[in-house]
A and B are shown apart, each in its own frame.
Chain A
Amino acid sequence: MSDTTYTGVLDLAAGAFLLVAVLIVWRRDLRATVRLLAWQGAALAVLPFSEGVLRHEAAPIVVGLAILVLRGGVLPVLLGRAVSTEPRERRESAPLVNTTASLLVVAALTVLAYAVTRPIIALSPTPTTRAVPAAFAVILIAVFVLVSRRRALSQAVGFLMLDNGITATAFLIAAGVPLIVELGASLDILFAVIVLGLLAGHMQHTFGGTDLDQLRELRD
């Protein structure tokens, strides 16, 4: 793969990565958002994979495949199994911000991402680093999803998206963090998603639903 093709593939993957985040904000069906999350994981896997192909190195290719399995497969499947069979539970009911306003917020957050990442690009103006605003935009959009959704599992989707954004940032600015940190962080996230899935199950059983508006017992 030549450098130009590599840059092209990279920009395409980063673009797809951001686009999926926008689609997740747009869709309200929980199973559809979980499927989209799997596509985002696949786009993320392209980043280390294409770098490995360009440099003829095995390690990034292995990391890319591991990411594909974990974030494109295992984690979305775990979340998908936690989505209730009950139709009422499958949809995000009346979000706090309506779809049109949400998409406008997403646009504003993307612009903000460009402003925030200027010092990073200034330090290392390579083609890969130039794609980092896309990853930061996904991080900001994920935080927006976390605060504006009312189903427990939508928050779990937001959390995973946040993590995808951070991993993408790591690959774009520094070809990934040291391996032991990458492994440990992936393991933590896997366990966190398992815990969230189990909790959502317990909550559905105890509360008869996962609408976060029901979480009102504890406050001051």
Chain B
Amino acid sequence: MTALLLVPILAPLLAAVVTAVLGWRRGAAVVTVGAALSVLVVGVVLVALVGTGGGSGAAGSGARYAVGHLLRADALSVTMLIVIGTVGSLATWASIGYIDAELAHGHTDPQGARLYGVLLPLFLAAMSLAVLATSIGVVWVAIEATTVATAFLVAHRRTRAALEATWKYVIICSVGIALALLGTVLLHFVSLHAGAATGNTLDIDVLLAHASRLDPAVTRLAAGLLLLGYGAKAGLVPFHTWLADAHSQAPAPVSALMSGVLLSVAMSALLRVKSVVDLALGTGFLRAGLLTVGLLTLAVSAALLFVQTDVKRMLAYSSMENMGLIAVAAAGGTRLAIAALLLHVLAHGIGKTLVFLAAGQVQAAHGSTAIADVTGVLGRSRLVGGAFLVGLAVLLGLPPFAMFASELSISRALADAHLAWALGVALVLVATAFAALVRNGSRMLLGPATPGSPAISVPWTVGAALVTGIALSLALGLTAGPLADLFQTAATQLGASR
């Protein structure tokens, strides 16, 4: 078990070392893709080990440990490993063509390419650690490490706008996540007072076991800080302002990873915290908090989607919209809601990767990301236009794609949980975002191209990643297969009711 759980962390670290030594070479880039694939393979292997018996078993059971008790895999970690592995493989694969094109056009130099090749796998390793750590203190360390690792990925182009976005990103995320550290310190304090041993006060199992004895007043303070802190990293109100800047300036494969995976990794940390806080304070406290930030996030993103003129910022606000919806689903908190939320996370990750990678090729052709500059993409490049269209259909929740099923399930779960009013508000906001995305998307994709539009070139690695992404989206839409069981188990292990 130790070797298996170490692979998702050590394989990307090895890839980073290889790239640091060799520089940006085809060989090093292939090792990085292999490392991302190994994360996915470990996730799939672990499904059989922790994902069995969906719907039965008590909370916290079925987890596997490694390296003493430092690493821990349960159904939620396995789900997140699959998301990291899938999007990571697509993004690292597409990075080969992306960086080669950047080098050819003089947007970056060999040093910049090497730095990119080192930081990208470090980012993957930090996310793997964040979902596998037993101690929520180590989860915090790993999530802050993602901020450090991604800073110079966002600043990759070194332009004014890229530097501005990076500064805002690092400051806002570091300060936001510092609040989560304060919350973690307070949890350590109440855990000590509830009788936990000094060394493992922050281990998730220890916290769950002592949850009923945690001091309510201090736990409330801690929970509020943790919600704000991890919410900052998940793109939730009020620390959401970094998101559109960073996602719009980062290279397309990095945007795909940040939007499709990093936000949900932060959300998964919040789900873990929620399982403890719900036992200590009852479900009411975090339900109110998650509903407030979730609905506000939906409202802000829907409004900004409507006035958006930049395609990558539009995609960033669409991520915010989905995170808002996921927060509302988490507030619902039933087994159906949590399982649907996890399906939503995976489908959103793949769909967002498609649109960001496609948008990256459009940006490379036009040298601009203004929606007004881009017309008739579907007619100019079947592959890029098709991938954008499929990705958009996934994000809009159209059948047969998986977000249709997840959004229906979330709606049903909210209605069952007597949150019909929240469901109503959320649906209006989601419909607003839907209209904005359809309007902008159809403007760029359909219709004739403006005369003189540049040709959209697609390096074969990017093309291969796009085709694979389309196939995965379709497959996931047709059947979630054994994953449905995994999501159910995760919901049960998180202590969801019913």
Contacts and interface: CB of A to CB of B under 8 A. Distances in A.
Interface of A: 116, 119-120, 122-124, 139, 143, 146, 152, 155-156, 159, 162-163, 166, 169-170, 173-174, 177-178, 180-181, 184-185, 187-188, 191-192, 195-196, 198-199, 202-203, 206-207, 215, 217-218, 220
Nearest to A122: B217
Contacts, number: 139
A203 B171 CA distance: 14
Contacts of B200: 178
Contact of A215 (B164, B202, B220): B164
A218 B161 contact: yes
Contact of B170 (A120, A169, A195, A206): A195
Given A192-B144, A206-B158, A181 B138 contact: yes
B168 A215 contact: yes
Interface of B: 70, 135, 137-138, 140-142, 144-145, 147-148, 151-152, 155, 158-161, 163-168, 170-171, 174-175, 178, 181-182, 184-186, 188-190, 192-193, 198-202, 215, 217-218, 220-221, 244-245, 248-249, 304, 307-308, 313
Contacts of A202: 155, 158, 163
The A contact surface, by secondary structure, is: helix
Contacts of B304: 220
Contacts of B137: 177-178, 180-181, 184-185
27 contacts: A119-B220, A120-B218, A123-B218, A166-B178, A169-B182, A174-B188, A177-B184, A178-B135, A178-B137, A178-B201, A180-B70, A180-B135, A180-B137, A180-B138, A181-B137, A184-B142, A185-B140, A192-B144, A196-B170, A199-B170, A203-B167, A217-B160, A217-B161, A218-B164, A218-B168, A218-B249, A220-B313
B197 to A, nearest CB: 10
B109 to A, nearest CB: 15
The B contact surface, by secondary structure, is: helix
Nearest to B245: A218
B178 A162 contact: yes
A188 B144 CA distance: 7
A192 B148 contact: yes
Given A156-B171, A218-B244, 6 more contacts: A120-B186, A180-B138, A184-B145, A195-B152, A203-B164, A217-B164
3 A-B pairs closest in CB distance = A181-B137, A184-B141, A119-B217
A166 B171 contact: no
A166 B174 CA distance: 13
A22 B140 CA distance: 29
Contacts of B166: 199
B128 to A, nearest CB: 15
B241 to A, nearest CB: 9
Q: Which of B165, B167, B201, B217: most chain A CB closer than 10 A? A: B167
Contacts of A116: 221
A218 B304 CA distance: 14
Contacts of B185: 166, 169-170, 173-174, 177
A206 B175 contact: no
